[in-house]
């Protein structure tokens, strides 16, 4: 009997050692996530620790499905440039931002690359609405490829499920500028808002769940008159692109930009219940590949001199298309936020961003896990604009 007890004890110790090894091999984000797993599958309502870990794991959590964005075999180089000297304490700034990554790409060279929250050059982070600017760019590619005839075409000409809905008289251009006039609530703190509810709809058989949700919404204003920020609109843009090109937006992005431009790592795109990508949100990529995407836009949407997007697309999409009277800092283009001095930015909640300044040949990538979705409570959003200005000033002083 004593021998069996000893053997069982040894086996238990061995299993415990294996479990301990697996626990440490899982990495710090998984360990943090497993210690505080979310009971809510909606990331909007996760705790701070769940966000800090989960934003790095968004395409690997069992209850979240995602499609791959394949990368090519030869990454586009990001040469090291002279370290940028800023007149500020960058470490303190990163702590205040709860920052996962900051990259500054100037004239194609890395002038700053800093990481936090256990991130690094090979680690993916979720984008939130930064994905909107990527989805818009795919419209430019579909126009050049001849899959979309005109931005003035009706959305329902491409997405049949929208016929007879409030979107029947809405143009692609109005979707891109968020001026459809269809009612939508984008309140990240309200579980009853549209942005919190759209994934819970029971889809019509054979129809994308995103279409099922959107076609039920009533009209609030005539098309083209009122700006209303809507993740749902961009979700429809993604469905429209998929219908037009005959493949999902993840695959189309891979074929048109991700592989040809030389992104170093595969990305992923989170999907809805019926398998289509949620194109208003939730693309995962490394900070360096987000920076490469910003450089692609700076390059005018060209790869090795050859155009990938419709003629004039970048200047049109990133220029002022829709004034926003209630916002003192920003106006709107085609799913890009338009700033002063010709700069523009892709913005995602909780601190994600790609800031692009063509006049200075500058791209800044930020990944964070803010305490609130818009970064208002701690002043994190305003501080990020101050950081952009500090980088611009440092470059101007050189």
- pTM score over 0.85: yes
pLDDT at 26: 62
What is the pLDDT, as a whole number, of residue 12?
37
- How do the domains of the chain map onto residue ranges? 66-396
Q: Residue 22 has what pLDDT?
A: 55
Can you give the pLDDT at residue 13? 37
Quick one: three-class SS letters along the chain? CHHHHHHHHHHHHHHHHHHHHHHHHCCHHHHHHHHCCCCCCCHHHCCHHHHHHHCCCCCCCCCCCEEEECCCCCCCCCCECCCCCCCCCHHHHHHHHCEEEEEEEECCEEEEEEECCCCCCCCEEECCCHHHHHHHHHHHHHHHCCCCCCCCCEHHHCCHHHCCCCCCCCEHHHHHCCCCCECCCCCCCCCCCHHHHHHHCCCCCCCCHHHHHHCCCCECCCCCCCCCCCHHHHHHHHHHHHHHHCCCHHHHHHHHHHHHHCCCCCEEEEECCCCCECCCCCEEEEHHHHHHHHHHHHCCCEECCEECCCCCHHHHHCCCCECCCCCCCCEECCCCEECHHHCEEEEECCCEEEEEEHHHCEEEEEEECCCCCCCCCCCHHHHHHHHHHHHHHHHHCC
pLDDT in tens, 317-332: 999 999 998 888 899 9
Q: Which CATH number is associated with domain 66-396?
A: 3.40.710.10
For residue range 18-30, list pLDDT tens digits in order: 445 555 556 888 8
In this predicted structure, what is the pLDDT of residue 31?
87
**Which residues of the chain fall short of a pLDDT of 50?**
1-19
């Amino acid at each position: 009997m004593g021998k069996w007890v000893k053997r069982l004890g040894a086996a238990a110790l061995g299993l415990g050692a294996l479990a301990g090894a697996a626990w440490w091999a899982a990495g710090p984000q998984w360990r943090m996530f497993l210690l505080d797993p979310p009971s809510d599958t909606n990331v909007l309502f996760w705790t701070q620790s769940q966000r800090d870990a989960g934003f790095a794991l968004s395409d690997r959590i069992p209850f979240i499905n995602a499609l791959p964005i394949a990368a090519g075999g030869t990454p586009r180089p990001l040469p090291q440039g002279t370290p940028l000297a800023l007149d500020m304490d960058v470490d303190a700034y990163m702590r205040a931002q709860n920052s996962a990554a900051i990259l500054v790409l100037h004239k194609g060279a890395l002038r700053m690359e800093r990481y936090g929250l256990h991130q690094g050059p090979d680690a993916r982070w979720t984008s939130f609405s930064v994905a909107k600017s990527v989805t818009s760019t795919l419209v430019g590619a579909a126009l050049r490829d001849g899959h979309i005839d005109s931005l003035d075409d009706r959305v329902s000409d491409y997405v049949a499920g929208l016929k007879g809905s409030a979107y029947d008289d809405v143009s692609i251009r109005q979707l891109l500028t968020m001026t459809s006039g269809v009612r939508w609530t984008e309140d990240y703190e309200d579980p009853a808002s549209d942005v919190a509810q759209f994934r819970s709809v029971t889809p019509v058989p054979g129809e994308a769940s995103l279409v099922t949700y959107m076609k039920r919404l009533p009209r609030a204003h005539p098309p083209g008159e009122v700006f209303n920020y809507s993740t749902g609109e961009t979700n429809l843009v993604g469905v429209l692109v998929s219908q037009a090109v005959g493949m999902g937006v993840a695959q189309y992005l891979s074929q048109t930009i991700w592989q040809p431009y030389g992104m170093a790592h595969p990305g992923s795109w989170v999907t809805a219940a019926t398998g289509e990508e949620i194109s208003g949100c939730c693309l995962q990529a490394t900070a360096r590949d987000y920076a490469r995407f910003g450089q692609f836009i700076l390059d005018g949407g060209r790869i090795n001199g050859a155009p990938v997007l419709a003629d004039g697309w970048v200047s049109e999409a990133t220029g002022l298309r829709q004034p926003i009277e209630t916002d003192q800092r920003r106006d709107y283009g085609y799913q890009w936020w338009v700033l002063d001095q010709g700069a523009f930015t892709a913005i995602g909640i909780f601190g994600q961003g790609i800031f692009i300044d063509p006049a200075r040949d500058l791209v800044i990538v930020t990944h964070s896990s803010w305490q609130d979705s818009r970064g208002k409570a701690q002043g994190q959003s305003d501080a990020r604009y101050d950081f952009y200005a500090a980088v611009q000033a440092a470059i101007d002083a050189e």
